[in-house]
Structure 1
């Protein structure tokens, strides 16, 4: 199976051929994968070098001319480092772009903390009007990327990861999808953590919702699920733990409920390790998830 990033390269190259409005801005990362596309569309494929603030600024300038720019680099360099440009050049100027990241929270542990971005979605939450897609499979990444490019002039973030579920699920760029139904609580699995959640909840009487679009948050979908499964909610997110707890609480504001947010911890892990070791250290492996989910649904008070 190809990776989400492999699929991004293939699909973006096709979009450049198919749609004269699409442009691509790179900051060194990924440039070799787009050599042929750049030769075909030298006016719409631009590599600004290791200048991430310029990456966003150039994309915003393209958007002002009527283009639909796709901006790509590692998440830490796409959202965190040029955050002022994301806020001002895109947000304040009220223009849209499609930000497509790589490396997720810890996809390249050997790169160290500079190449990790568990706080990216939480940071975008401080801004207005962003759609955030978190695919869990290359097929989903393709569908959501095409959806993002076609979304008029909206501001869209597509968060890619080398972690992926075995099977693709239907995605529509809006709603949570019910994977399993139960009566003792709701577990929302985001993107590439679905397989871990399904293994963790095997045999538990819970509803499992699958979320690949987390902003806007599907409040109506969560309310429908809790109406039949009960008001206990566990959010399992592949980025900073608790990122969506406020959104879940708002969705259920008029209903007595409990929410547990699981995800990447705030403590920096200072050893490279492997992806699997980072998953386990943050309690996102199936065994740890089962213990934490079951404990919470059994009435224990647990912190994410």
Structure 2
């Protein structure tokens, strides 16, 4: 199976052939996936070098001319380092585009903390009007990328990861999917967290919602799940900073007495390289840890 990044390069290259309004902007990272596309469209595949602020600024400039830019690099260099440009060159100028990240929270531990961005979605929450997609499988990444590319002038952030679920789900770019129904509580699994959540809750009487579009937050689906079980205990399992969506869940349930447990990447920096499974375990996001934490919160463990 190809990775999400490989699928992104292939799909974005095809989209360039199909839609003359699209342009891809890179900052060295990922350029090898666009060699053929750059030969076909030298004016719409732009590599600005290791200049991340310029990367986002060029994307915003293209949007001002009526283009639909697809801007790509690691999350730490796409959201954190040039955040002022994201805020001003897209938000303040009132233009849209598609920001596509890789690296995520712990995809490349050997790269160190400079190449990790567990706070990216929380940071995007400080800005207005952004849609955030977090696919859990390359097929979902393709569907959500196509959805984002065709989304008029909307501002969209697509967060890719090396971690994937075994099977794709039919995502539509808006709603949560109900994968299991139960009475003891509701667990929302975001993107690549799904398989570990399903394994952790296999013998628990819980509802499992699958979220690949986390902003806007599908409060209606959460309210329906809570209402259907009669329980207002909610666990959020996210592949980025723990608690990122806790406020959104609380707002969705403001008319219902509830408890929310936000699980995700811990704030404490891990200073050993290790590998992805080691980082998942250290953050309590492997199946065994999730079983203990979810079961303890819901009283089913």
Gapped regions of structure 2 (runs ≥ 5): none
* Counterpart position of 1:45: 45
TM-score for the superposition, normalised by structure 2? 0.99
The aligned counterpart of 1:141 is 141
Instruction: After superposition, give the CA deviation of every residue in 1:97-121 in whole Å (9 maximum; x if it has no partner).
Output: 1000001101000000000000000
Tell me what 1:215 maps to. Answer: 215
Offset from partner CA, 1:166-207 (integer Å, 9 cap, x none):
000010000000011101100000000100000000110000
Distance in 1, Cα, partners of 2:288 & 2:257: 29
Secondary structure at 2:100 match in 1: strand
Aligned to 1:238: 239
The residue aligned with 1:153 is 153
Q: CA deviation at 1:240?
A: 0.1
State the SS of the aligned residue for 2:221.
helix
Matched, 1:186 2:182: no
Instruction: Give the drift of 1:228.
Output: 1.3
Deviations 1:48-97 (A, max 9, x none): 00000000000000001110000000000000000000000100000011
Q: Which residue of 1 aligns with 2:111?
A: 111
Q: Does 1:29 align with 2:6?
A: no
Quote the residue 1:171 is aligned against: 171
How many residue pairs align between the two structures? 300
Partner of 1:262: 263
What does residue 290 of structure 2 align with?
A: 289
- Give the drift of 1:33: 1.2
Structure 1 residue runs of 4 or more that deviate by more than 2 Å after TM superposition: none
How far did residue 299 of structure 1 move?
8.8
Paired residue for 2:227? Answer: 227
Distance 2:89 2:20 in 1: 23
Q: Is the 2:204–2:300 Cα contact (8 Å) retained in structure 1?
A: no
Q: Distance in 2 between matches of 1:47 and 1:299?
A: 52
Q: Distance in 2 between matches of 1:199 and 1:36?
A: 41
The 2-side partners of 1:292 and 1:224 are apart by 24
SS of equivalent to 1:179 = strand
1:250 alignment partner, SS class: helix
Alignment of 1:52-63 (within 5 A): 52-63=52-63
* Deviation sequence 1:203-225 (CA, Å, 0-9, x none): 10000000000000000000000
Q: Name the residue aligned to 1:14.
A: 14
Instruction: Return the TM-score normalized by structure 1.
Output: 0.98
Displacement of 1:298: 1.3
Equivalent residues in 2 for 1:271-286, closer than 5 Å: 271-286=272-287
Distance 1:52 1:63 in 2: 17
CA distance in 2, matches of 1:32, 1:196: 32
